[in-house]
Structure 1
Amino acid sequence: MQIKKFLVPLGCAALLVVAHRASGWPGVAAVAGGLLMWLLLHFTRLMSVLKRAAHRPIGHVDSAVMLNAKLRPGVTLMHVIAMTRALGERLSAEGAEPEVYRWSDNGLSTVEAEFAGGKLVRWQLARPDPQASVPDSPAP
């Protein structure tokens, strides 16, 4: 996963070098414009996801069961925030690895998700016991 930190900048630099060799400075300007557009698209998506999440309570999701069904290993935290449209309630310490977040719904079902390196590694659905919430009714 750490190799991506080096491959993306090296790939961008390689594109700029190839563009310079092929078309000179106009080629570099075209590739730089394309790279800037790519960067702005990602930034815009990040801001729109966070803007949507800012208007919802922290750790709330419409249905924890549906969230559990949609989760897959390797999904990024930003993708999960986009799915839930809410920031998760942090359960781990600040800066601790792995990061653990929880989302819960109105039925008290919760999903705890563990992220290592920003990617989902495991999650668990916890549902309340239906017998515990129903009071005993008196016999007629």
Structure 2
Amino acid sequence: MSPLLGGLLSLAALFAGGLLLGWKGVVLALTVIVFWLLLQFSRLMRVMKQAGAAPLGSLKGSALMLHSQLKPGMPLLELLKLSGSLGKKTAPDAYTWQDAGGDRLEIRLHKGRVQHWTLTRATEAPAPATDDLPADTPAA
């Protein structure tokens, strides 16, 4: 939810509570607003605790799977949920994650939202050619 929409809804709740129930309605609206803010803070702390416990720049899954789930404008909190860790900072607004297979995902952020990302696949070692085998070794 955007901060502007949240602020407008909070003002509307305060106004409606004041009109319908007087000062008791305003107190009720304030209680609901504070409860909602505490829920958001708790959610943020849970995600940060999980991301902070994981090794820096590592992925709990595959870089290719994270790459497929990214969308432009995605908030940083969602990105941290999907990656499971904090990224390694490579530039002022660029962070890198790497999975166990060596695939790297570099994500550029702008004002806390995903702007652009690049997936770099790990290079696989070429299979040995049959010409390199000794003459007495049967080819597979």
TM-score band w.r.t. shorter chain: 0.7 to 0.9
- In structure 2, list runs of 5 or more residues that go unmatched: 135-140
Following TM superposition, by how much is the alpha carbon of 1:82 offset from its aligned partner in structure 2, in angstroms?
Answer: 0.8
Match of 2:53 among 52, 55, 67: 55
Following TM superposition, by how much is the alpha carbon of 1:109 offset from its aligned partner in structure 2, in angstroms?
Answer: 0.4
CA RMSD of aligned residues (A): 1.8
What is the DSSP-based 3-state SS (H/G/I as helix, E as strand, rest coil) of the residue aligned with 1:58?
Answer: coil
Q: How does the TM-score come out when normalised to structure 2? A: 0.83
Cα deviation digits, residues 48-73 of structure 1 (max 9, x gap)? 00111121101100311111111112
Amino acid of the structure 1 residue aligned with 2:133: A
Distance in 2 (alpha carbons) for counterparts of 1:71 and 1:112? 12
Partner of 2:115: 121
Cα deviation digits, residues 30-51 of structure 1 (max 9, x gap)? 1111111111111111000011
Over the matched positions of the two proteins, sequence identity in percent amounts to 32
Partner of 1:103: 97
- In structure 1, list runs of 5 or more residues that go unmatched: 94-98
What is the DSSP-based 3-state SS (H/G/I as helix, E as strand, rest coil) of the residue aligned with 1:101?
Answer: strand
Cα deviation digits, residues 6-53 of structure 1 (max 9, x gap)? 453343223212211221011111111111111111111100001111
Aligned length: 130
Partner of 2:89: 90
Partner of 1:34: 32
Distance in 2 (alpha carbons) for counterparts of 1:64 and 1:115? 17
Q: How does the TM-score come out when normalised to structure 1? A: 0.83
Partner of 1:65: 64
What is the DSSP-based 3-state SS (H/G/I as helix, E as strand, rest coil) of the residue aligned with 2:91?
Answer: coil
Q: Are 2:106 and 1:112 aligned?
A: yes
Distance in 2 (alpha carbons) for counterparts of 1:57 and 1:135? 32
